[in-house]
Amino acid sequence: MYNQLSDVTAGGRTSFPNAGVSAPPVRGSAVFWYNTKLNGQPNHQSLHGGCPVLMGEKWVANKWIRENANFLRRPCTTDNNQ
């Protein structure tokens, strides 16, 4: 999870180019995604990067959630498409 701690006047979006989406930097907002599929394979749509901040400052905080600790809430599958 990625939490936005500051507003940005211009630029600074978080872009997911393989998914065709981006998130604007808005103070108090959060972006959450899984970087693996249910079958444990990498989710290539989760590839992301920060766009340049054109005006202002961007402050963020990250929270990593380990998959092994959540195996009962998000069970694995053998389906290669999930």
Query: Would residue 9 count as lying in a domain?
Result: yes
Q: Distance between CA 81 and CA 37 in Å, rounded?
A: 8
The answer for residues whose C-beta is within 8 angstroms of residue 22's C-beta and 6 or more apart is 13, 14, 15, 16, 51
Judged on CB neighbours under 10 Å (0-12, 13-18, 19+), 46 is middle
What is the share, in percent, of the chain residues with pLDDT greater than 90? 34
The whole domain housing 31 covers 2-70
- The one-letter amino acid code at 10 reads A
* 40 DSSP 8-state letter: S
Q: What is the pTM of this model?
A: 0.73
Query: Would residue 75 count as lying in a domain?
Result: no
Number of domains in the chain: 1
pLDDT by residue (tens digit) across 21-56? 999 998 888 899 988 887 778 899 999 999 999 999
